[in-house]
Structure 1
Amino acid sequence: MTVRHVLTLALALLLALPAAAQPEGPLTIERQGSFFIGGREVQADALSTLPAYAPSGTITVDQVYVRYQVPPAAGGRPLGRPLVLVHGCCLTGKTWETTPDGRMGWDEYFVRRGHPTYVVDQAWRGRSAGSITGINRVRSGKAPADELPTVFSAGHEPAWAIFRFGAAYPQVFPGMRFPLEAQGEFWKQMVPDWLNSLPTPNPTVPALSELARKLDGAVLVSHSQSGIYPFQAAALDRAGIAGIVSIEPGACPAADGDMAPYKGLPVLVLWGDYVELAPRWTPRLKGCRDFAAAANAAGGKVEVAVLPEMGIKGNSHMLMQDNNSLEIADWLAGWLARTTGSGK
């Protein structure tokens, strides 16, 4: 039986069940908190252009903010694998929290399913601070304008097509499941993106590697822009990485690259709907299929799941916020249990 047949059967069984309801009752947490992982100190000479603040000093950059929730072990059963949830372009860890229309996000849902969750803000994003010295050096005349760092924001209209709400703003794909009635709340989640001013790999990558070692058996769950990061982290060091779930990645590893880091590692690459209608995403899905074939030929355990091919239709690029997000999370919880086992 092929991987596609296994996934199709699993999805068929899921669809035969009643739709997953939002879990009710108090959320029980054994512990929660936040910390930073990674980071380095740098000397800077353009921290401020204001007379009241010194321009020179030491700052810390490249650190990654992590907020965690750990459920209690219920009935003597071991906890599920810790999940590290990494957001995509122009967003923060808010991606995984409450949905724009107020429903439970994957962060809480997986805690209720017995998985410790670790939600991060990528380096230089959200609560993971960066450095504004590149801007201030130009403003103060210490550097020419062409040395300004590249920072961008995604407007509502182009993001509409990128996130596959429709082919172009304000068109809507038929049957599309994103809660557009709450789109105003979604647009509020978007923040400036420093990706193109950062080195490769992004500083988030070694931070994820360090976090996986700290958790000693985590599944790295990425989305879109961050989709490649868990693969890059595994290439740095497999220690502590129990699996990878890459949701609609901006890129998978090249099919002609080194497959050794992925040998025996459970990997799921998950896609929503309308990919064949989106020129931005069609070649990326093909690239992930090519990677899966090459990795599996080298002893990998890579599965590519495309939801409409298995009977689940209408999902956007933001499938963790779509109106069937908990059904998908429920299926994903089954995949995790089947392929990665329990944590400690």
Structure 2
Amino acid sequence: MTHTPPHLDDRIEPITIRTGFLWIPGEQIPTPHGTLPRGPLYVEWLAPAEVTRPHPLVLVHGGGGQGTDWLGTPDGRQGWAYDLVRAGYAVYVVDRPGHGRSPHHPEGLGPTAPPLPLEFASFLFAPPESADAHTQWPWERGFDGPEFQQLTSAMGFFLADFAEGQRLDGERLAALLDRIGPAVLVTHSAGSPGGWLAANRRPDLVKAIVAVEPMGPPYADFPGLGEITYGLTYAELTTEPPIDAPEQLKADPAAHRVPGLSGTPIAVVTGSASGSAAQSPPLVDFLNTVGADAELLPLEDSGIVGNGHGLILEANSAETVKPVIAWLDALEESR
């Protein structure tokens, strides 16, 4: 008699995949202990036996998370990465510098901000006051629920220098694109600035962007961080024509184009029960003002309701990915 470990889900559809990993090294820096690579990027890749899609996907996790956010869900199912592989894509899952398997040391990356507490995770992913509408987080709401513990065990911290953290994200993602070629970026939450910056640095290598519940709205003022300096990012964006100070972009965004975003197809995905969804319409407007071809992709327009900010992790994650795959399919058909 065979035995299935309790954490394995018999409902998972078998799939033959190829896997591996690589590193995008950081620049070498001197320290009192010798030379260190600064902020290397860990990249795990997955691909079907036969890749049928023309461009790979680069999955960029949010906030204090890590690449495992794309690989599995708090209740033990396979995550979006596997759904996208089943759809024929080669997928690259990154751990942003200083997160997950991308090591952090203060002599390389500087000090960290305070750790993200469980209260913040509850507020962001499973707010009790939204329980009636937030029906796709069906697990216990509270610190003791096993799914909540699975989610929060993966959470880390930001760099104290938030702008520098975003700059590093953009630079390392750009270097990954140099290695793998043209790709589509798929970002979640506070991972979105790294996507905007990577496109800004490598405009010819980003074919499209899917921003899931992205950070915003433009120029939001976050406690302890201040206003989003460049509207989309705290780290510097380059524009055409160039600006001498970020205030110029804020004063007249229509007078500027952002290389890498100008003309780029962008889908901004929102959940119907997410407290963050309201920030996305003004973000889409701003993206289009600076030249992007951006559109809002609310899940409810596809008949998918009850999702919150963590829609890539929730009980119907295999459904929430389908409108994204359909959007990518339509994009390829239009080319």
TM-score bin, normalised by smaller chain: 0.7 to 0.9
Identical-pair percentage: 29
Say how many residue pairs are matched. 285
Q: CA deviation at 1:215?
A: 1.9
**Shift in alpha-carbon separation, 1:35–1:198, aligned structure 2, 3 A:** farther
| CA RMSD in angstroms, aligned pairs only | 2.7
1:258 aligns with 2:254: no
Q: Which residue pairs with 1:41 in the alignment?
A: 28
**Shift in alpha-carbon separation, 1:211–1:311, aligned structure 2, 3 A:** same
Of residues 65, 68, 71, the one that matches 1:91 is: 65
1:107 aligns with 2:95: no
C-alpha distance in 2 between matches for 1:89 and 1:32: 25
Unaligned runs of 5+ in 2: 1-10, 141-146, 219-230, 233-249
The residue identity in structure 2 corresponding to 1:303 is: E
1:284 aligns with 2:246: no
Q: CA deviation at 1:283?
A: 5.8
Q: Which residue pairs with 1:222 in the alignment?
A: 187
Q: CA deviation at 1:119?
A: 0.5
Of residues 111, 119, 128, the one that matches 1:149 is: 111
Of residues 1, 5, 13, the one that matches 1:24 is: 13
Question: SS state of the match for residue 95, structure 1?
Answer: helix
Q: Which residue pairs with 1:8 in the alignment?
A: none
C-alpha distance in 2 between matches for 1:174 and 1:94: 27
Q: Does the 8 A contact of 1:166 with 1:173 survive in 2?
A: no
Q: Does the 8 A contact of 1:70 with 1:115 survive in 2?
A: yes
C-alpha distance in 2 between matches for 1:330 and 1:172: 24
Q: CA deviation at 1:167?
A: 5.5
Q: Does the 8 A contact of 1:83 with 1:117 survive in 2?
A: yes
Q: Does the 8 A contact of 1:213 with 1:241 survive in 2?
A: no
Q: Which residue pairs with 2:53 in the alignment?
A: 79
- By relative contact order (CA 8 Å, sep 6+), the higher-ranking structure is 1
Taking structure 1 as the reference length, the TM-score comes to 0.74
Instruction: Determine which structure has more spread, i.e. the larger CA radius of gyration.
Output: 1
Taking structure 2 as the reference length, the TM-score comes to 0.76
**Shift in alpha-carbon separation, 1:259–1:192, aligned structure 2, 3 A:** closer
Of residues 128, 136, 148, the one that matches 1:177 is: 136
Q: Which residue pairs with 2:178 in the alignment?
A: 213
Q: Does the 8 A contact of 1:153 with 1:191 survive in 2?
A: yes
Q: Does the 8 A contact of 1:33 with 1:68 survive in 2?
A: yes
**Shift in alpha-carbon separation, 1:327–1:128, aligned structure 2, 3 A:** same
C-alpha distance in 2 between matches for 1:286 and 1:129: 35
Deviation by residue 1:7-30 (Cα, 9 ceiling, x = unmatched):
xxxxxxxxxxxxxxx6623x212x
1:58 aligns with 2:35: yes
Q: Does the 8 A contact of 2:25 with 2:37 survive in 1?
A: no
The residue identity in structure 2 corresponding to 1:24 is: E
Q: Does the 8 A contact of 2:26 with 2:38 survive in 1?
A: yes
1:322 aligns with 2:299: no
1:308 aligns with 2:267: no
